[in-house]
């Protein structure tokens, strides 16, 4: 099973939010580089479901991707610049950055499923690193 599908399967099997699913997908690299456990990563991402604090803000999958980049960035490029590029690429794929817009809360027409947001975030994170 590839990384994209694994992240979605883990999300559903363990009842994770989108941020946690993205973080957990990169757990082996983070554990190795930062000595953070899976439990610590799950705790780190626990408040980012349904757009940080369930307030429909920035997509949790994108927040998780930004966290992964911050934890694993070893390049000369600042993490903020990489995160900006990641966010722009995510918006181009999904159509928006906020959970409210992505889920179509106002328009009743979702732009992307949560599962696909997780897939996009994982793929873009792999590319960014």
The pLDDT tens digits of the residues spanning 65-99 come to 999 999 999 999 999 999 999 999 999 999 999 99
Mean pLDDT (the chain) is 95
Report which DSSP code applies to 89: H
Q: What is the pLDDT of residue 81?
A: 97
Q: What is the pLDDT of residue 1?
A: 74
Percent of the chain at pLDDT above 90? 92
Which pTM was predicted? 0.94
Tokens of 114: 């949560």
Report which DSSP code applies to 106: T
């Amino acid at each position: 099973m590839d990384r994209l599908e694994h992240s979605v399967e883990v999300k559903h099997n363990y009842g994770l939010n989108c941020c946690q699913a993205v973080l957990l997908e990169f757990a082996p690299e983070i554990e190795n580089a930062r000595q953070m456990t899976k439990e610590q990563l799950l705790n780190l991402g626990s408040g980012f479901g349904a757009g940080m604090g369930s307030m429909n803000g920035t997509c949790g999958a994108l927040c998780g991707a930004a966290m992964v980049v911050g934890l694993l960035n070893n390049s000369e490029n600042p993490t903020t610049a990489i995160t900006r590029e990641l966010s722009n690429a995510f918006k181009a794929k999904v159509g928006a950055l906020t959970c409210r817009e992505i889920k179509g809360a106002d328009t009743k027409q979702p732009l992307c499923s949560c599962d696909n947001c997780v897939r996009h975030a994982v793929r873009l994170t792999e590319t960014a690193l």
